[in-house]
Amino acid sequence: MPYQPRTVSGVEVTPLCDAVGPMGPAIRRPLAELFPGSHLPDEPWILHFHCYLLRDEAGHLTLVDTGVGDTDSPAAVWAPVPGRLTGELAAVGVSPSEIGTVVITHLHSDHGSGAVTGGRPAFENARYVLQRAEYDAASGPMLDRVVTPVKDLLHLVDGREEVAPGVHVQLTAGHTPGHQIVRVGELAMTGDLLHHPAQLADPSLGYAYDHDREQATRVRIEVLDALRAEGAILATAHFSEPFLRL
């Protein structure tokens, strides 16, 4: 079942638990290898895969990330598919056709695969918001099986933009070329700006699958410093609990 929502700046934010589980055999690596230089244990990592439903005061619905997708999705080689996103939405009384905006933080398969089902857009009445840099860098299964089917619904942005009432995206490149976070007032939905609580204690810890580890580290430090100065709330993608007050 979905977590309890929070209302921030007039927008109700509901975390949706798409999946929970370890990385699969295709890329399974112990925590210590995934975060080089850390003191994390040499054991498998159990990830939580969170998406977020936003409802503004006028009833407009925005979905942040679309999870791991179906059993035949690009994420199926490593993630605990199928995702539960559709069921999580149904549990809060929302059908996919009611979603007006879908923000994909980045085109890794655990964040974008659920954007498409059966080769067609899963949210047929939505704009799909993606940073232009992420679109330009798209390749492989995510390009062929996710981006291409939603191409006519794409809304490409460059940097910071208000994409729905009270909902802003912000470019935070490094983990991928066009990674973005989503802001609603004091709350930041961080995507893969950080993956593990160890990176809160030490934001200099890189991640093995960062596209540009140096840039990702620099951006993570800068953004977390700014969010700490605000006393912001984080809404994370992979922590066991979705909300965290800095």
pLDDT at 18: 98
pLDDT at 26: 67
82 preceded by cis ω (within 30°)?
Answer: yes
Burial profile 188-223: b = 16 or more Cβ within 10 angstroms, e = fewer: bbbbbbbbbeebbeebebbbeebbeeebbbebbeeb
Mean pLDDT by 10 residues, the chain (246 residues): 90 98 79 89 90 97 98 95 97 98 98 97 98 98 98 98 97 98 98 96 95 98 98 97 96
Cα 70 to Cα 109: distance, rounded to the nearest angstrom = 11
Q: Which domains does the chain have, with CATH numbers?
A: 6-245 (3.60.15.10)
CB 61 within 8 A of CB 53: yes
Alpha helices, DSSP H only, in the chain? 31-34, 85-91, 109-112, 132-137, 140-142, 198-201, 213-230
Letter for the amino acid at 176? T
What residues have CB less than 8 Å from 119, skipping those under 6 apart? 145, 149
